[in-house]
Amino acid sequence: MRAGDLLRQIDQRLLPLLSQAVARLGETSARSRVLAGTALLSVTAVLLTAVWAADDRPVGDPTVGEVTRVGVVDGDSVPGYLRAAAADLATLAEPAATPADGTYALVSLDSYLAPQGLDAVLGDVSVAAVFGRVPLPGRQTEIVRIPAQRVPEDVIAAMAEVAARKDREAADYRARVAATTGDAELRQLYASGAEVADAEAAAYRAGCACVYAAVVRAQPATLRAVASRRAVRAVDPAPEVHRLDRTVFTPPLPEQRDVVRPPADAALPEATPSPSASSPTASPSPTAVESSEPAPTVTESSPTPEQETPSAPPPTVTTSPDASGGRPVQPTQS
């Protein structure tokens, strides 16, 4: 029975009795005592019902509205981040204080690897996702987050899906180039998008060396063993992560060596107008996004590393830092 229905029944049964008692108030001292007792019982019943209703409420998820960030952001010192990640890994609690299935960690690679090269690096850990991007020199390319439990099979299959999507993007851009007249910069923007999408489609279809990071889960000793491998740049443990759908991972790109800077695309004009509603689903200057959007409460996984040099105003997320100037479930942009 719902709390509201129970309270209404109590009112229907007790209020008439109280009204009659009040009407005869003062007739006898005995009746006064009955009235006082009835009133006390009514108050007690109401209080007990309120407590029962409060205890019966479903318990909400205390993590709602929270997003945990693991990795770097624009303006961060890359060497500082690597040192902080190494320090966190060295002090990571041993198994007695670690969940049975291990701790989540962000593994950043020193170079881009093909799917077949991942097994030698990640073969003994549980993989949740990998991050990839086609490293076209001087061009912005999309950062994709690929859910992958089987390596390399899931990565190869996902790359084929991304290639098909890039084919559609390229066709969309070419159609917009043909439909745009009188705006040379906008035509150049669309033409550049078509060119990049074509190159990305060809690379992913061929199983390119495009993977540069992974989200894994393992015990501390195993994570330290992964960190010692030649291809691994850093292992950033994130014991505070319990739900991947509320975590944003932003690993540094292999070519980011000093400070995470906003990207620049050598094929685009310096001041590029932002296409309005007529722009395709993915823009020529992609931005990386994660499985969940930033929420008011954010928990950082590592101490904010010191910044070595000032950087230009960062965009919302990272894309390719190949050109001077740089800073992530379904395939997404950066």
Q: Record the pTM.
A: 0.66
127 and 258 together in one domain? yes
Q: Which domain holds residue 28?
A: 3-56
Residue 77's region, left for phi above 0, alpha for psi from -120 to 50, else beta, is beta
247 and 138 together in one domain? yes
The answer to whether the CB of 151 falls within 8 A of the CB of 124 is: no
> Per-residue confidence at 94, pLDDT binned at 50, 70, 90?
confident
Residue 208's region, left for phi above 0, alpha for psi from -120 to 50, else beta, is beta
237 and 296 together in one domain? yes
Strand duo 297-300 + 211-218: pairing: unpaired
The pair of three-digit structure tokens given for residue 96, joined into one six-digit string: 């007695």
249 and 214 together in one domain? yes
**Considering the domain boundaries, does residue 137 fall inside one?**
yes
Task: Give 49's DSSP letter.
Answer: H
Strand duo 144-147 + 126-132: pairing: antiparallel
Would you state the pLDDT for residue 101? 84
44 and 99 together in one domain? no
Name, in order, each residue with C-beta under 8 angstroms of 119's C-beta and a sequence gap of 6 or more. 151, 152
Would you state the pLDDT for residue 7? 58
Total domains in the fold of the chain: 2
141 and 217 together in one domain? yes
Would you tell me how many other CB atoms lie within 10 Å of the CB of residue 269? 12
40 and 71 together in one domain? no
Q: Phi and psi (nearest 5°) for 134?
A: -80, 115
pLDDT tens column, 97-150: 667 789 999 999 999 999 999 999 998 899 999 999 999 988 989 999 999 999
pLDDT tens column, 148-178: 999 999 999 999 999 999 999 999 999 999 9
49 and 70 together in one domain? no
The answer to whether the CB of 323 falls within 8 A of the CB of 266 is: yes
> Per-residue confidence at 93, pLDDT binned at 50, 70, 90?
confident
94 and 11 together in one domain? no
**Considering the domain boundaries, does residue 126 fall inside one?**
yes
Query: What is the total residue count of the chain?
Result: 334
111 and 232 together in one domain? yes
Could you give the CA distance from residue 293 to residue 266 in angstroms, rounded to a whole number?
29
Nearest C-alpha neighbor of 285 from the set 253, 249, 324, 316: 316
**Considering the domain boundaries, does residue 125 fall inside one?**
yes
The answer to whether the CB of 176 falls within 8 A of the CB of 283 is: no
**Considering the domain boundaries, does residue 315 fall inside one?**
no
10 and 85 together in one domain? no
> Residue 265 pLDDT > 50, yes or no?
yes
Give the rounded percent of residues in the chain with a pLDDT score beyond 70: 59
Would you state the pLDDT for residue 157? 97
